Amino acid sequence: MSRSSTRPTSRDVARAAGVSQAAVSLVLGDKWRGRVSETTAGRVREAARELGYRPNLAARNLRLGRTRTVLLVVPALTTEFFAGVYTGAARVAAEHGFGVVLYPSPEGIGPARDPFASAQAALDGVIASSMAADALTAIRGDQLPLVMLDSDPTGSLGAATVNLDIADGVRQVAAHLLGLGHRRVLHLAADVPSWTFEVRARELAARLAAVPGTEVRTARAPISIEGALAATEAALTAPGPRPTAVVCDDDKLAAGAYKALRRLGLRVPDDMSVTGLDDLALATAIDPELTTVRLDAELFGERGMRALLAVLEGREPEGGDIPVELVVRGSTAPPGASA
């Protein structure tokens, strides 16, 4: 049998196998026993294989209104954080008979090509990080049941939002550094237009402003070690009193800050304290180990999937932000004598 140049249909399979379309449906839906002979079932399977026929899952599940497939849209997988989000989402999905397709948005943010011929026909719903929200329009994901992660609940595209308590994480960092005696802080901010990073900047500024004699300087950097290195080096060689602590929007930025400090002959934490946010494996790979905020990525993914299941079933998703925890390690200390 030769392959057709167009996508084969169940009618083509039925014709090739010499059976009815109903028989094809029974065999390929694995409901043939007692209704179709084993010989006929084998003939249908062979015809489907020869033709390269794949069932249209969306059509097959039309009666249920479900394809039992969810799209998880995240920034480019540059850290293990979003791998953890996927793991948590996939675990809950599997418990409920759903599959999760992972779709990294190019360069972390910005438009993305539709990964399906028609996302709406192929999916039950979407879970998306706010950092990859621009991809939703391109894949028409904003027209499906949608749960947003790390997104402003008051202006979210989604039917539900699931957030980590990032504001509290920043409050914990600020309280820790202020308690050590730091008053001049460099905020190494992720140069990404996203609600989650706006929260970090706003909360840090508010916490430090509440204490007299504090000063916050901001340097923006792409989320890369080289970008963080360049931004930190430029900020610390600028005129004016040198900060005594660098607060980084994530652990990768902190690793870049470490390199910049070493180039400048500064020691962590003797001359400069450094904090991160994420608690990636990287946090304990650098020396000294990094004081950072631990985010439970797998729980984040689990909660995102549970929220989407609730939306699909017409229930109210679980409320409340996911708690985060400051993990104090060797990268923070009271300001050095040179400060």
Phi, psi of 57 (to 5 degrees): -65, -35
Identify the CATH homologous superfamily for domain 164-294: Response regulator (3.40.50.2300)
Where in the chain are the domains?
Answer: 8-54, 66-162+296-319, 164-294
Q: What residue type is assigned to position 126 of the chain? A: V
- Distance from chain centroid for Cα 56: 29
Tokens 């200390």 belong to which residue?
333
pLDDT, position 295: 96
**Residue 152: count of CB within 10 angstroms of its CB:** 16
DSSP state of 131: G
Asked if 29 and 63 touch (Cβ cutoff 8 Å), the reply is no
CATH number of 66-162+296-319: 3.40.50.2300
On the CB side of 100, CA atoms within 13 Å amount to 28
> What sign has the CA pseudo-torsion 328, 330, 333, 339?
negative
As given in the structure block, the two tokens for residue 34 are 């007692």
Alpha helices in the chain (DSSP H): 10-17, 21-28, 38-51, 57-60, 81-95, 119-122, 134-138, 166-180, 195-209, 225-236, 251-263, 282-285, 297-312
Main-chain phi, psi angles of 156, to 5 degrees: -75, 145
Question: Is the fold of 66-162+296-319 the same as that of 164-294?
Answer: yes
Q: Which of the listed ranges 14-23, 44-53, 150-159, 321-330 does the model predict with the highest average pLDDT?
A: 321-330
pLDDT digits (tens, 9 = 90+) for 135-150: 666 665 557 788 999 9
- Percent of the chain predicted with pLDDT > 90: 55
Of 267, 188, 200, the residue nearest 229 (C-alpha) = 188
- The structure's pTM equals 0.76
**pLDDT band at residue 1 using 50, 70 and 90 as cut-offs:** very low
Query: If you average pLDDT over each of 71-75, 110-114, 243-247, which comes out highest?
Result: 243-247
Q: How many other C-beta atoms lie within 10 A of the C-beta of residue 140?
A: 16
Does pLDDT of 250 surpass 80? yes
Which of the two residues, 293 and 55, has the higher pLDDT score?
Answer: 293
Q: Work out the average pLDDT over 144-163.
A: 86
Cα 205 to Cα 199: distance, rounded to the nearest angstrom: 10
Class of domain 8-54: mainly alpha
Give the contacts of 184 (CB within 8 A, at least 6 positions apart).
214, 215, 217, 241, 242, 243, 244, 245, 339
Long-range contacts of 287-290 (CB under 8 A, 24+ apart): 288/329, 288/330, 288/331, 289/329, 289/330, 289/331, 290/251, 290/254, 290/329, 290/331
